Amino acid sequence: MARNKHPEQTIQRILDTAAQLFFQKGYDKTTLQDIIDATKLSKGAIYHHFASKEAILIDVVDRMGEYNSSVLAQVRDKKGLTGAEKLRELFRASLTLSFQGKILHMLPFLIENPKFMALQMQSILREAAPDYVLPILREGIADGSIQADHPEQLSEVLLILSDLWLHPILRPSTPEQVRARCAFFNQFTRQYGFELLDEDLTEAMATFSRT
């Protein structure tokens, strides 16, 4: 059998195809055979790169995370905003990205997957908080728009609350419960000199709630 000279292209092909199928059919209704048929690759070629359909899903989500990181970096590096203004824009971008159609079709499975939830927590503590939120908090402290004595810890708490506790799909809730949590979140952040959730964003989150 001829050796694949471009494995990265094969991996990209598998991930592109799987993401489209997960989006169209949902993760649970997509079989490995569907991915094999759509890519026109052999089962051996798929298993050479991925041990399971779950492994493919994790890589698909990781790749979406890479795109999200590029968007958040643009907000972090934007000029002409105070730290508090930049933080509001960052959280709006982050929450908006999390409601994109493709990821929403995968979330019902992901929230039941301990591996995904562990990866989500690692991403918050190792990447999102120190790379995106913490620099903005420090900017806000320097320009006076944010009052915080422990910015590193605050960066982690803000993301854990917004990405896990506030998320209406990761934590199924009624619209009223989502609005109440958003109000509490704003009350919590107000002590540091800012609010992150305006009425439009709160209502957008409530729209995605489910009982």
| pLDDT of amino acid 69 | 84
Residues 46 and 88 in one domain: no
Per the structure, the complete domain to which residue 115 belongs is given by 59-207
| pLDDT of amino acid 119 | 75
Residues 33 and 81 in one domain: no
| 3-class secondary-structure state, position 168 | coil
Residues 28 and 69 in one domain: no
Residues 16 and 89 in one domain: no
| pLDDT of amino acid 19 | 86
Residues 38 and 110 in one domain: no
| pLDDT of amino acid 113 | 67
Is the pLDDT assigned to residue 99 strictly greater than 70?
no
* pLDDT tens for each residue of 110-131: 666 677 777 778 888 889 999 9
Residues 65 and 31 in one domain: no
Is the pLDDT assigned to residue 107 strictly greater than 80?
no
Residues 116 and 85 in one domain: yes
CATH code for the domain of 160: 1.10.357.10
CATH code for the domain of 3: 1.10.10.60
Residues 170 and 188 in one domain: yes
Percentages helix, strand, coil for the chain, rounded to the nearest 5?
75, 0, 25
| 3-class secondary-structure state, position 66 | helix
Residues 35 and 70 in one domain: no
How far is Cα 8 from Cα 16, in angstroms, rounded to an integer? 12
Residues 181 and 126 in one domain: yes
Domain count, the chain: 2
* pLDDT tens for each residue of 18-60: 988 887 887 888 999 999 999 999 999 999 999 999 899 888 8
- Measured at the CA of 94, the angle between CA 90 and CA 96, to 5 degrees, comes to 115
| 3-class secondary-structure state, position 40 | coil
Residues 156 and 81 in one domain: yes
Percent over 90 (pLDDT), the chain: 53
Residues 77 and 41 in one domain: no
| pLDDT of amino acid 167 | 80
Burial class from Cβ neighbours inside 10 Å (0-12, 13-18, 19+) for residue 125 reads middle
| pLDDT of amino acid 101 | 54
Tokens representing 20 are: 């489209």
Q: How confident is the model at residue 81 (pLDDT cuts 50, 70, 90)?
A: very high
Distances (CA, A) of 171 to 100, 107, 108: 17, 11, 10
